[in-house]
Structure 1
Amino acid sequence: MVPCTFAYWGMIAFGMLFELKDGSVSQELPFLLGAAIVAVSFANWGQWLINDLYDKDTDKHSNQNRATTQNEIPDRITLLTGVALSVFGGLFAFVINAYALFSVLGFIVVFAAYSIRPIRLKSNAYTAMLSIGLLGGCCFLLGSATVVDQPSPFTGLIFTLITLVMTINVSYKDIKDAEHDEKSDSENFVVKFGRDRVRRLLIVGLPASYFIFGMVFQLYSWLPIFAVLALVVVYLLYDRTDKYHRLVYELDAINGIYLLMLGIGYYGIQVSIL
């Protein structure tokens, strides 16, 4: 949960830096950024609790020590806690502006549809991947909302690009639970196409996305740094053939670092041309 949240923080930072085109930083921006980070953290943690509640069948195979699996916490308490955390997330977003509130509400709605039956988007390989892509896109919009009150057409274009790229590359999150998901009849991308095939796809797709975004934002001087991150990703995907939980956490952290670097690089270009 923590590495995943870190990646969302990176997306928020990228969204914020993306909108700072004139190089000016308002006095309240640190407060607004903090509110955005707290908002998505609460929303993410709340929805993860609800997700765990609906994942009991899978967790009986893969996460037997979870409190929800062992019935240490009543389902009602788990559900209420998840809802309460999500509401707190929305309240922190409301402090920023309406744009931020709708971004967090979008995050919560997509995550709920991802987890909760009968919709349960995670039960289908393609809708599961699209859901995670949309979650990342919502975090980008939340970061944007710390600077502006409404998105521009270019912001909408980048949101679409982020969603598509994350949709393609997010399948690494399901690698660690592939065998257990198959036992519980959960048809995600890894179960559908096989762990090894997905790993080979990611070895190409994930590093390629680093360069694609770098060139879209004309960060040519940053490409060597992105190349180093890409090489680390390739090494991890090639090496962690029996340490899949560790692999997911490491890739989440690297993606968060990459997004932060991407935002800093883009901000630097905007400041330099003023």
Structure 2
Amino acid sequence: MDTVVPPSGSVLDLFRLTGRVAVVTGAGSGLGAGLARALAEAGADIVVAGRRRDKLEQVAASVTALGRRCSVVPTDVTDPAQCETLARTAITEFGRLDVLVNNAGITHTAPATREDPGDYRNVLEVNLFGAYWTAQACARVMRPGSSIVNVASMLGLIKSVLPQAAYASSKAGLIGLTRDLSHQWAGRKGIRVNAIAPGFVDTDMIGEMSQDILDEFLRDCSLGRTATQREIDAAVVFLAGPASGYITGSTLAVDGGTSGH
């Protein structure tokens, strides 16, 4: 393995991603779209991946408006072959791949005794298997000093108010996967693998939740509010770049203190 040089320079320099290339899955809307723009603001060129090309094109336009290059790669992360194509496209178009943000995810709410097996499998296929196939494909072409950030959830750490066995187990599995891949790749490949576990974020998805349910979730939140997109952006930019150069295998809870109860 090539030696990874510890970061140097000013503190602010450590948060810059200039000259780097980042892949963001689930980038067509919501959290993923915001993360793609945040990484571009930090200086990275971006590859946006997701199932809907029209949505990805809109995000790409917002990235290029920031002065960064952006490539659109429609991708179903449950298909390992498409994940391989995604990684190869980054190398073909930009010559390198330094950051992967595994953000693609879906949820499903159902009582455990009545949950359809197909629904349960579908959540795990996207949230856990998809993250693995994408990380696997990207790690094959990443160079030492690269970073993978898995977007887990506080529900991988604590109980849920709603019956979400599929989602909770997929996110807990993603946290376990983060630890294992970090152990495998940190020394051998020089790739750091970390996760964030967000609480509720003020995105369109929150608007679909009843106020009573949201209030119940926030009852155990020390800060008593949802997170903003920018607060999640900052956590991902931190883990993606040299500022977190001595952090690997960790899950950063960005949940307002909810998992600390």
* Same fold, judged at TM 0.5 (above): no
| Structure (1 or 2) with the greater helix fraction | 1
TM, length-normalised to structure 2: 0.32
**Structure of larger gyration radius:** 1
Higher RCO structure (Cα 8 Å, ≥6 apart): 1
